[in-house]
Amino acid sequence: MSTTKNGQEISMSRPSVGEAGRTGDWRNDRPVMDATKCLAVKQGRLTCQICWVYCPDGCIAQGIGPVIDLAYCKGCGICAQECPAGAISMEPEADHGTCAIDAATAEEAGR
Beta-carbon count within 10 A of 4 CB: 9
- The binder of ligand SF4 chosen from 77, 89, 99, 102 (CB under 6 A): 77
Q: Which CB atom, from 62 or from 102, has the smaller least distance to ligand SF4? A: 62
Query: How far is it, in rounded angstroms, from Cα 59 to Cα 53?
Result: 10
Does 74 engage in binding with ligand SF4 (CB under 6 A)? yes
Query: How far is it, in rounded angstroms, from Cα 3 to Cα 96?
Result: 41
Does 18 engage in binding with ligand SF4 (CB under 6 A)? no
- For residue 25, give Cα distances in angstroms to 5, 12, 21, 91: 37, 28, 9, 15
Report yes or no: 89 and 32 within 8 Å, Cβ to Cβ.
yes
The 19-58 site mask, x for binding ligand SF4 (CB under 6 A), equals ------------x-x----xxx-------xxxx---x-x-
Q: Which residues sit at the interface with ligand SF4, rule CB under 6 A? A: 31, 33, 38-40, 48-51, 55, 57, 59-60, 65-66, 68, 73-79, 83, 85, 87-88
